[in-house]
């Protein structure tokens, strides 16, 4: 699939640093390699072979078959590349399915869908997130907010969007009834999206037992800060400014420091 003379690349994956950018993808990918953020004693695991294998595989893919400047690419940048036919494969959020088959995509009639890969250890490299609607405790318009949320997530709204934009553009992942709708089932990615959602298990995200929940994240308050710093190391490795070994050592050291300071380990 890769033909760099035509600006055509075999695969586009997140490289932009951030806990919700490259680390969302790399954490999910690492699960399929048997890696984990922490062992049962909350000790960081970036000095273990599964993480080294994950990063080596990722860097090899991107350096040989990815687009230039990939360390700056997140969801939006890769979406644009894929829509314009510059990427043969893209592993990312299920919500992107309607974007790559819609009117803005030049490859809409050439796209097929598959679950994120399984490395043979029983865990796929998929993840699970949510578009969350919350009402602040101090809101003066609680009733109005509840009315809006009900409207934005009910069956009537889905039908309204479908009547104007087509079933493929109905917001996914909101109601189980949507996936039981015969009209929506005709959408090429409908079943695959549901299968992807159902195959992700936040309570058992890794091959080996871990003390945390979360598939592409760790559900502790410190995670966003730690993963953003870790993501900067891995993005630098992708850019070629540091080695994979140095990135993993830095990730191990900074995570250990943060977890010790937070009281998880002594």
Predicted confidence (pLDDT) per residue in 50-102, tens digit = 999 999 999 999 999 999 999 999 999 999 999 999 999 999 998 899 999 98
DSSP state of 8: B
Give me the mean pLDDT over the 189-212 stretch: 92
My answer on whether 149 and 112 are in the same domain is: no
Task: Return the H-helix or E-strand segment holding 51.
Answer: helix 49-65
Lowest-pLDDT choice from 26-30, 128-132, 177-181: 128-132
In terms of pLDDT, which residue wins out, 128 or 241? 241
Rounded to 5 degrees, φ, ψ at 3 are -140, 90
My answer on whether 42 and 78 are in the same domain is: yes
Q: Which residues of 87-126 are buried (b: 16+ CB within 10 A; e: fewer)?
A: bbebbbbbebbbbbbeeebeeeeeeebeebeebeeebbbb
- pLDDT of 95: 87
For residues 53 and 142, the answer to whether their CB atoms sit within 8 Å is no
Q: Evaluate if residue 34 carries a pLDDT over 80.
A: yes
DSSP state of 74: -
- pLDDT of 132: 81
- pLDDT of 81: 97
How many alpha carbons fall within 13 Å on the CB side of residue 255? Answer: 26
Q: Note whether residue 232 is domain-resident.
A: yes
pLDDT grade, residue 254 (50/70/90)? very high
Q: Evaluate if residue 130 carries a pLDDT over 90.
A: no
CA dist 30 and 63 (Å) reads: 18
- pLDDT of 265: 95
Give me the mean pLDDT over the 149-170 stretch: 94
In terms of pLDDT, which residue wins out, 172 or 51? 51
Give me Rg for the CA atoms of the chain: 20
Q: Evaluate if residue 129 carries a pLDDT over 90.
A: no
- Count structural domains, the chain: 2
Pull the structure tokens for residue 231: 């993501």
My answer on whether 44 and 153 are in the same domain is: no
Task: Read off the CATH number of the domain in which 62 is found.
Answer: 3.40.190.10
My answer on whether 183 and 69 are in the same domain is: no
State the average pLDDT for the chain. 95
What is the pTM for the complete model shown? 0.92
Q: Note whether residue 266 is domain-resident.
A: no
Last residue of a domain, one of 151, 170, 192: 192
Q: Note whether residue 22 is domain-resident.
A: yes
Give me the mean pLDDT over the 240-249 stretch: 98
- pLDDT of 243: 98
Range of the domain at 106: 4-128+202-261
């Amino acid at each position: 699939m890769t033909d760099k003379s035509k600006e055509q690349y075999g695969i586009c994956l997140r490289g932009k640093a951030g806990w919700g950018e490259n680390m969302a993808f790399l954490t999910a990918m690492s699960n399929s390699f048997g890696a984990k953020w922490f062992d049962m004693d909350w000790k960081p695991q970036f000095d273990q072979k599964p993480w080294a294998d994950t990063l080596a595989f990722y860097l090899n893919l991107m350096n040989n078959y990815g687009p230039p400047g990939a360390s700056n690419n997140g969801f939006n940048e890769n979406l644009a590349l894929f829509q314009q036919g510059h990427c043969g494969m893209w592993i990312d959020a299920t919500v992107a399915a309607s974007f790559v088959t819609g009117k803005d995509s030049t490859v809409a009639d050439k796209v097929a869908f598959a679950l994120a890969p399984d490395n043979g250890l029983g865990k796929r490299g998929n993840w699970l997130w949510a578009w969350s609607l919350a009402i602040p405790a101090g809101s003066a318009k609680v009733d109005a907010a509840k009315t809006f949320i009900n409207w934005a997530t009910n069956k009537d709204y889905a039908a309204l969007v479908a009547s104007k934009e087509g079933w493929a553009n109905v917001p996914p992942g909101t109601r189980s009834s949507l996936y039981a709708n015969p009209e929506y089932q005709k959408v090429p990615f409908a079943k695959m999206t549901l299968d992807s959602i159902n195959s992700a298990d936040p309570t058992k995200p890794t091959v080996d037992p871990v003390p945390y929940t979360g598939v592409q994240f760790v559900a502790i308050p410190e995670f966003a800060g730690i993963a953003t710093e870790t993501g900067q190391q891995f993005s630098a490795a992708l850019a070629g400014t540091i080695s994979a070994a140095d990135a993993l050592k830095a990730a191990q050291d900074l995570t250990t420091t943060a977890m010790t300071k937070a009281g998880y380990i002594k």
